[in-house]
Amino acid sequence: MNLPFSHYPPSVAFPLRRLLLACAAGLALIAPVAHGQPAAAYPNKPIKLIVPFPAGGGGDTLARLVMLRAAKELGQPMVVENLGGAGGNVGSAAAAKSPADGYTVLYGTNGTHAINHAIYKSPGFSVRDFEPVTQLTRIAAMVVVRPTLQVNSMAELTKLLKANPGKYTFGSAGNGTTSHLAGEIYKSRAGLAVVHIPYRGGAQAMTDLMGGQIDMMIEVMPNAAPQAKGGRVKPLAVTTATRVAGWPDLPTIAESGLAGFDVSAWDAIFVPAGTPRPIVNRLNEAIHKALADPELRAQLQSRGAEAAPGTPEELARHIASNMTLWGDAVKRSGAAVD
């Protein structure tokens, strides 16, 4: 039975009190060190990277390019798990519920961390469920048309669509995706009536574009550029304010008659909320080193992506501004999920 100090004789109570106080002081000194040990030793086992999109798509490719290179800097394997569904919500929600120990990281995009919160009533997660680590890239989109469409410039495409309201179609990776909203912004700015055909992923939409089942897409360059290089689709313009380094001869939409047109996507890395800051910093450092590699930067540029590393705080501010930007685009377009 445990007795209060008053129940012990003075010869026992006072030394016992001093001993317990000394132990408490010692534990107070030890506790921060013990709490910091996992971060100091991080990482000491494989890290799981959740990509909330199907394998083989543009986002999956970019995630693997950067993070498998970062894994070398971390000295541990990076195991990729593709958990696609609901525009990235399924994988993002799963990552949000993972332990906050740095051994599960999430590949996120302007879709998962901005657009989805405007277009889905219940995405299944909040941006507050994550600690930002770093932005990876800024990603241009490319206007591409089926090879048999008789246009060879953005101006010709706009003229054709304006003369034939409701006759032509544009595909997207799904309702509320970057490719959908970029198409809606183009329609609105140019005063066009083009039928939207949503798909379950950009790869399926691109396949139908190559096959001639749809007429055009405004798709992020990691998906569109390889097909354009192979001649399977016809590239007309990029959506950013300036030309893309890897495609210097391809004009911008702004140059082609729609002044001020500027739409781009981005991707980033996140960890579950509550992950210790030393672990966040370690991941940030490794990713920045990976993105500094000239060979990797060249690979990214060839896909229309520009390395854009930054601090966790910069990423948090970027997300906040993007939630407004894409949220407004969703309202203007009337986009909704089925």
Q: pTM (2 decimals)?
A: 0.73
Say which amino acid occupies 337.
V
- Helix axis angle for 58-74 and 294-302, nearest 10°, is 170
**Nearest of 152, 132, 189 to residue 309 by alpha carbon:** 132
Cα 294 to Cα 116: distance, rounded to the nearest angstrom: 33
Tens digits of residue pLDDT in 121-168 = 899 999 999 999 999 998 899 999 999 999 999 999 999 999 999 999
Cα 255 to Cα 257: distance, rounded to the nearest angstrom: 6
Task: Give the pLDDT score at 196.
Answer: 94
What's the angle, vertex CA 286, arms to CA 290 and CA 303, rounded to 5?
A: 30
Inform me whether the pLDDT recorded for 27 exceeds 90.
Answer: no
Are residues 87 and 111 in contact, defined by beta-carbon separation less than 8 angstroms? yes
Are residues 78 and 47 in contact, defined by beta-carbon separation less than 8 angstroms? yes
User: 225-229: which pairs have CB atoms within 8 A and are 24 or more residues apart?
Assistant: 225/142, 225/302, 225/303, 225/304, 226/303, 227/144, 228/142, 228/144
Mean pLDDT, to the nearest integer, of 249-271? 93
Cα 173 to Cα 176: distance, rounded to the nearest angstrom: 9
- Return the higher-pLDDT residue of 229 and 177: 229
- Return the higher-pLDDT residue of 30 and 136: 136
Inform me whether the pLDDT recorded for 2 exceeds 70.
Answer: no
Cis bond upstream, residue 278 (ω within 30)? no
* Residue 265: strand pairing partners: 139
Tens digits of residue pLDDT in 263-272 = 888 999 999 9
Inform me whether the pLDDT recorded for 18 exceeds 80.
Answer: no
* Residue 171: strand pairing partners: 197, 217
Inform me whether the pLDDT recorded for 329 exceeds 60.
Answer: yes
* Chain centroid to CA 64: 13
Q: Is 97 buried (19+), middle (13-18) or exposed (0-12) by CB count in 10 A? A: exposed
Mean pLDDT of the chain: 87
- Provide the CB-side half-sphere exposure for 25 (13 A, CA): 6
